[in-house]
Amino acid sequence: MLGRGGMGNIMKQAQMMKKRMEQLQQELEERRIEATAGGGMVKAVVSGKQQLIALTIDPKAVDPEDVEMLQDLVVAAVSEALKQSHKIADEEMGKITGGLNIPGLF
């Protein structure tokens, strides 16, 4: 059974964790992660919250005879950027939660 001090301490720690998570959310929203495909012909930029911010396609990658290749490059660049962004978010959240997996935080 927790004494008064124990429960108060837990509440204080929970409030501190909540504040740090809110700060992390803001930092992730501002963070930019970039990935490329096709030797840099397609570049995707996403936020730390897995939102696509920008997509750049080198005109040399545009071949009307091979649209499927361009589509594949776009998917590859966006997928890699999202993967990196998710990894960064997980690592940063792990620092706050001590590695506990708390569903619904992101």
- How far apart, in whole angstroms, are the C-alpha atoms of residue 90 and residue 46? 15
Per the domain annotation, does 105 fall within a domain? no
> What range does the domain containing 50 cover?
4-97
Q: What is the pLDDT of residues 15-63, one digit of tens each?
A: 888 888 889 889 988 999 999 999 999 999 999 999 999 999 999 999 9
Residue type, 79: S
Biggest CA pair distance of the chain:
73
CATH of the domain at 52: 3.30.1310.10
CA distances 47 to 26, 33, 57, Å, are 11, 6, 18
* Number of domains within the chain: 1
Per the domain annotation, does 102 fall within a domain? no
Is 106's pLDDT higher than 80? no
Hey, what's the torsion of the CAs at 54, 60, 65, 67, to 10 degrees?
-20
